[in-house]
Amino acid sequence: MILGIGTDLTNIERIQGTLDRFGDRFKNRVFTQVEQRKAEARKDVAGTYAKRWAAKEACSKALGTGLAMGISWKDMAVTNMRSGQPVMAVTGWAAERLAQMTPAGHTAVIHCTLTDDHPWAQAFVVIEARPTEGGAT
């Protein structure tokens, strides 16, 4: 069962401008240390930040909140599996919201995909509820 779907299209040059203007202040407000290490190790630093920004926006939409209901940017974090596949993890208020929207007898799974084609970065997030063993079907 699908609980939420979110998408976001972000301009990489806009993120580059924000990085140029606010630097560490912006990075530390929005991105976890893991996300920052990943971006700073990449050739396309701004593109990597833009994809993660888009993923956070898309996740907040899939949670049905946008960023207006108390979710912190760092409550949503993108990491990568060894294969490179992006993984969205939620903590804090985002995790509380996810728990509220997940039906009893189900486990929430967040699917995340990222792409970029300069000057655009895009993310899709789909939140799925899977029945737990012995739970509802």
Residue 136 belongs to some domain of the structure: no
Residue 18 belongs to some domain of the structure: yes
Residue 87 belongs to some domain of the structure: yes
Residue range(s) defining the domain that contains residue 127: 2-131
CATH of the domain at 48: 3.90.470.20
What average pLDDT score do residues 108-120 get? 97
Residue 137 belongs to some domain of the structure: no
| pLDDT confidence of residue 65 | 81
Averaged pLDDT score across all residues of the chain: 94
Residues 6+ apart with CB under 8 A from 78: 35, 51, 52, 55, 56, 86, 87, 88, 89, 112, 114
Model pTM above 0.85? yes
Residue 59 belongs to some domain of the structure: yes
Q: How confident is the model at residue 66 (pLDDT cuts 50, 70, 90)?
A: low
| pLDDT confidence of residue 136 | 57
| pLDDT confidence of residue 96 | 93
How many Å apart are CA 21 and CA 15, to the nearest integer?
10
Domain count, the chain: 1
